[in-house]
Structure 1
Amino acid sequence: MPIFTAWLVFVVATLVVFFMWQKEMTARSIINETEITRQHLVVYPDDLQIDGDLLKFSAFWIEGKQKVQSFYIFKTEDEKKLFLDYNKTNVFLFSGTVKQPDSPTNENQFNYQEFLKTKNIVNIVKIAELNELEKNQAKFIWEPTVLAHIRDFRKYLLDYLGQIAQPLAGYSQLLLLGYYDSDFSNPIEIINKLGLLYLFSLSGMHVFYIIAILRWLFAKLYITDEFCSWFLLMVLPLYAILGGLSASLLRAVMMSWLILFIQIFFKKTVSGIAVESFVLIINLYWCPLIIFSMGAQLSYLLTFILIVNRKVNPIHLGLKLTAYSIPIVLWNTYEWNWLTTFLSVGMVPFFEWIVMPAVVIGAIAPVLGTLCNQVLMVFTKILFSLSSWPLTWDYGKPPLFFVVLWLVLLLLSERRENSRKILVYLSISFVFCAVIIRFPLQDQVVYFDIGQGDSTLIRERFNKSITLVDTGGKVTFNNNEEWKKRTSKTMGETIIANYLLSKGISKIDNLFLTHQDTDHVGNFPSLTQKIKINRLFVPDGMDSLTSFQTRLADSTIDMNRVYPISIVKADRIGIFKILHPFIRGEGKNEDSIAVSFNLKKTSFIISGDLDQDGEKEVINLFKTLQADILKIGHHGSKTSTAKEYVNKLKPKFAVISAGRNNRYGHPNIETLATLDEFKVPYVNTANAGMIQVIPTKNNETIIKTFLKENGEMR
């Protein structure tokens, strides 16, 4: 009964904590964008991230009594330089707008809203004016705390480590201080590609190196072990802050601190599992959503496996760590590299005995920095070489049921009872899940919510053929000054490629770029870095444009895979009937590619930004042309969707792709009036998010929208 009572109290307390946390997060959230003026932010120098003309940082909003994620666009290059040299915590006066971040509008799109909640942040601030207060002014609003001084010191350490040669600088900043430097992005991407990210999730191992080094140093100085334990008890919490309070570092520091605390005050030892469980509970009480962080998932899970397998030989242990990491990695990244299975056997001890010591020693002993950097350079070159091998399996995103099932089966196999039978079940379910993901039973057309742009995916069942029409792209109106250029990923990578990889698709059979406008082709080069393109079709004449040649040079596609088309050159490509262009042009709106195709008994038409004159020419040439699902041209602009065109096609449904609150006023009222006149129901990506159209055998067409308020239509 006492055990049952204790468990009951724990469960009730946990539910109360989670409820109170959620209530607080909801109370803080600002749903509608709200303008604020003359407010104050406490800005920490170690949290500033600068990308071109964009400044990103989390800060404490004094009036709002909460931590917020902030964004500010520099007005001048001199202003940018001031923030590059910023190294002291201070208060800033600002004006701008505040609201909670938008939730994802496409399937499997990165959920920035949930990501911020793992840091106890619910609102973002877009700053229009930002001015640092004088010290004597700031002290009346906010007094510097111990935390502020530690953060300032962390900034000093980051700058110090940043001056070291790469890759030692990048490894030391990441592993010792939890800071991700954009200059170090390539090695991290390679490590991720090889499936070795779990090593960094276990990066708390350097805490044990530091403890071991301090104990050795104190012993050499004839200082008692007890004094060293007391010293560590005081220093470890400070180091957690210096290390950026990452999930893995918090776990390592808190576990080490608790073990020391119990040894000093209770003269007892405690099991690693008990300590890890207690630390996990504390972290969940502090921020429940931290468990949805991939780093936290890998860190706690793999640390548990290390604890229960202390006596297992390194080869067996490496294989176990790999097996447990696969479900988590696939759930988050959708890919697995076959080399990981073999690398993990030798990489864990190599990482533990060579890489980590090189990082720690190189950072704290400049005399040995060159040698340590050479070791890390060799390590990085080996990783780069291995990553070039074509052994990455684009598995796709497994349903949560399978992720949980695999982890449960792996844990059951630890008991060694029927372990072989369990491994057979594990293998069968793994293959079965891959088949489900990669071979859909239905045809599908997906209209991505790509902002003010266009991109449509056509998947024939069993992935018989994969076709993409346009890639979207962001039209920028800023000048091309070098200091303003950003390195952020495009929607082609974060939305289109991400979705394709989540479905186990790493290759597109056909890519149609309807015309030259950036909002249709701007993401094309970046998309090809993630997804292989077999054949690229462009309107005849566009292939000779300088703008297209520039984009082609930035892509991974050779010119011999580019096919200029018109109805003269080809009347059909696979299931696609070419409707336009008629003659060679210059890739302008009036030269747009237009195609029709059928899936089961449902007919579709997509026509880029083809204008009304072009639409009329199409229906005059193709007398029997009709469409059940019509993709409205030019984002609903009044220059497209002629009344004669709609009347002739007699669509049962229309899809509009337009950006939210776009500056062009798309879709225009004239276009919507035309659709209403002919009683054509429509849905807009700006309101519905991603739109999926699934033809069925019984002549029904299922239309699904990602945003719930639009639901499902038939």
Structure 2
Amino acid sequence: MRFLLIKFTLIFLTYLVVLLYFCIFTYNLPLLILFICSILLALFRKYYLMIPILIVFAVFFLLINSLSIRDNENQPKNLSKIELIPDTIQVNGDLLSFQGRMNRQKYQVYDTLKSLKEKEFYQNLSQNCQLSFTGNLEIPEIQRNFNGFDDQKYLASQNIYRQITIQQITNVEIKKNFDLHTLRRKAIVWTQNHFPKPMSDYMTGLLFGFLSKDFNQMSDIYSSLGIIHLFALSGMQVNFFIDWFRKILLRMGLTRERVNLVQIPFSIFYAFMTGLSVSVLRALFQKNIRLTSLDNIGVTTLVLMLISPKILLTTGGQLTLFYAFVISMLNHSFSNLNGLKKC
């Protein structure tokens, strides 16, 4: 689909916005040169309306980048309380990890569990709570080895700039407030307690986007069974759930127009239940945006960069969008080929 009034395709606009994104967030001279050449090509083709759109995105990206720098610089020197985000709890042996909030800042937290009772408490915890503790507030480690994992960069992509290593928890205050984090955690805990392994890992991974530490230990087995792709970056389960959801509503007698309307809030709810997983968000947007293949991935990419500006700073975000772009290109090529055969 071409927007004839503005004489350029959405996928070309998306290409320029992505180049602009990386020029701002990860300054790179070759990318800058490529961006300038692409802008000159757009001007040569008289795509003048692209310029104000690109300026709007540039201002937005610069604002996000400056806010990130400010948040990184305005971190507290010490902290004694943290509000635990329940659906981020991970227990691996005697190591507890989770994300927490305090004073509008997010933190990655680590603790060594002292007893089996304490371990069982956190494995079954499905409520919001506030922890009082003594510990160290530290800057996450940077990449030390070539091709090594950059913990600092990864956490910064989630707006986390400090990590906490707890020495001792002095008080646990259970909160009665309810939110979607709590609902997702309750669903994860219920699944883990009512289904045997590895079935519980399958279900929490596919239904809620939660992969426990046990999953990493079983990944070779999943690969040999040929099902590892179900937990990868494709978000392929989204199509399955959305299609069944639509079939159920249509069987109940709802019109297609009403089903299309109900599908949107269901998609938003499901996105939260999967922890706003990058691949699920991408798949949900593609499922709900009713455009041709290339325009679909173009709009999806632009919307994702607006609602989650750091999505392309993660390997997962880059791979899932690249995967979707390749599939869209193949669909577009085959549709053109079929059109030529019909002629």
**Shared fold, TM over 0.5:** yes
Which residue is 1:121 aligned to? 160
Match of residue 296 from structure 1: 317
**Equivalent of 2:142, from 103, 107, 127?**
103
Going from structure 1 to structure 2, the CA distance change for 1:168 and 1:115 (only over 3 Å counts) comes to same
Q: What does 1:645-684 align with in structure 2 at a 5 Å threshold?
A: none
Aligned to 1:240: 271
1:25/1:122 contact within 8 Å kept: no
Counterpart of 2:53?
Answer: 10
Contact preservation (8 Å) 1:198, 1:298: no
Q: Classify the secondary structure of the residue corresponding to 1:57.
A: strand
- For 1:52, which of 63, 76, 93 is the aligned residue? 93
1:271/1:285 CA distance change after superposition, 3 Å: same
Which has more radius of gyration?
Answer: 1
Aligned twin of 1:132: 172
Post-superposition Cα deviations, 1:230-253, rounded to whole Å, max 9, x if no partner, equal: 221111101101012111001111
**Are 1:155 and 2:194 counterparts?**
no
Cα distance per residue 1:353-375 (max 9 Å; x no partner): xxxxxxxxxxxxxxxxxxxxxxx
* Superposition pairs of residues 224-263 of structure 1, within 5 angstroms: 224-259=255-290
Task: Give the drift of 1:172.
Answer: 2.2
Instruction: Name the SS of the counterpart of 1:36 in structure 2.
Output: coil
CA displacement at 1:2 relative to structure 2: 6.0
Cα drift, residue 309 of structure 1: 2.5
- Using structure 2 for the length normalisation, give the TM-score: 0.74
**Structure-2 residue corresponding to 1:650:** none
TM superposition shift of 1:312: 8.0
Task: Give the SS at the match of 1:252.
Answer: helix
Secondary structure (helix, strand or coil) at the match of 2:146 reads coil
Q: For residues 150 and 66 of structure 1, what CA distance do their matches in structure 2 show?
A: 19
Distance 1:35 1:120, change over 3 A: closer
Aligned residue number for residue 19 of structure 1 = 62
8 Å Cα contact 1:177-1:242 kept in structure 2: yes
SS, match of residue 159 in structure 2: coil
After the TM superposition, which residues 595-634 of structure 1 pair with which residues of structure 2 at under 5 Å, given as runs?
A: none
DSSP 3-state at the match of 2:202:
helix
| CA deviation profile, 1:460-501 (whole Å, cap 9, x unmatched) | xxxxxxxxxxxxxxxxxxxxxxxxxxxxxxxxxxxxxxxxxx
Aligned ranges for residues 369-380 of structure 1 at < 5 Å?
none
The structural deviation recorded for 1:157 is 1.9
In the aligned structure 2, how far is the partner of 1:101 from the partner of 1:217?
47
Once the two structures are superposed, residues 82-131 of structure 1 have per-residue CA deviations (whole angstroms, 9 ceiling, x without a partner) of: 21221112333344332321212222221011111222222212223432
Q: Compared with structure 1, are the counterparts of its residues 45 and 36 closer, same or farther at alpha carbon in structure 2 (3 Å cutoff)?
A: closer
| Structure 2 alignment gaps of length 5 or more | 8-46, 338-343
Aligned in 2, Cα 1:134/1:302: closer, same or farther, shift over 3 Å?
closer
TM-score by length of 1: 0.37
- Equivalenced residue count is 291
Kindly provide the amino acid, as one letter, of the partner of residue 172 in structure 2.
Answer: E
Tell me which of 57, 61, 73 is aligned to 2:102. Answer: 61
- AA aligned to 1:92 is L
| Change beyond 3 A, Cα 1:195–1:22 | farther
Equivalent residue of 1:16, what SS?
Answer: helix
Q: How does 1:380-529 map to 2 (within 5 A)?
A: none
1:170 and 2:201 correspond: yes
1:415-452 Cα shifts (integer Å, max 9, x gaps): 9xxxxxxxxxxxxxxxxxxxxxxxxxxxxxxxxxxxxx
2:83 counterpart residue number: 42
What is the DSSP-based 3-state SS (H/G/I as helix, E as strand, rest coil) of the residue aligned with 1:133? strand
* 1:474-533 CA distance string (max 9 Å, x none): xxxxxxxxxxxxxxxxxxxxxxxxxxxxxxxxxxxxxxxxxxxxxxxxxxxxxxxxxxxx
- 1:173-224 superposed Cα distances (whole Å, 9 cap, x missing partner): 2122111122222442456799996664454222221121122222322232
Q: Answer yes or no: is the 8 Å Cα contact 2:126–2:185 preserved in 1.
A: yes
Residue 151 of structure 1 aligns with an amino acid whose one-letter code is H
Per-residue deviation at 1:153? 1.8
- Cα gap change, 1:304 to 1:21, in 2 (>3 Å): same
- Kindly indicate whether the alpha-carbon contact (under 8 Å) linking 1:30 and 1:100 is maintained by their aligned counterparts in 2: no
Match of 1:116, SS state, is helix
Cα distance between partner residues in 2 of 1:49 and 1:92 = 16
CA distance in 1, matches of 2:252, 2:241: 16
Residue 161 of structure 2 aligns with an amino acid whose one-letter code is V
Q: Given that residues 91 and 213 in structure 2 are in contact (C-alpha distance below 8 angstroms), is that contact kept between their aligned partners in structure 1?
A: no
Which has the higher relative contact order, 1 or 2, with Cα contacts under 8 A spaced 6 or more apart?
2
Is contact 2:294–2:332 with CA below 8 Å preserved after alignment? no
> Residue 127 of structure 2 contacts residue 174 of structure 2 at CA under 8 Å; is this kept in 1?
no
Gaps of 5+ in 1: 260-269, 314-413, 416-714
Report the residue type matching 1:223 in the other structure. Answer: L
Give the helix-richer structure, 1 or 2: 2
AA partner of residue 83 (structure 2): V
How far residue 81 of structure 1 moved from its aligned partner, in angstroms, is 2.2
User: Are the aligned partners of 1:33 and 1:97 in contact in 2 as well (CA < 8 Å)?
Assistant: no
Q: Please give the residue correspondences for 1:548-587 in structure 2 after superposition, counting only pairs within 5 Å.
A: none
Go from structure 1 to structure 2 and tell me whether the alpha carbon gap of 1:195 and 1:112 turns closer, same or farther (over 3 Å shift): farther
Q: Aligned partners of 1:123 and 1:193: how far apart in 2?
A: 38
SS of residue matched to 1:154: helix
* 1:59–1:69 Cα contact (<8 Å) kept: yes
Work out the CA distance in 1 between the residues paired with 2:121 and 2:257: 46
Change (3 A) 1:100 1:25: farther
2: CA distance, partners of 1:275 / 1:120:
28
> Closer, same or farther in 2 for the Cα pair 1:9/1:196, shift >3 Å?
farther
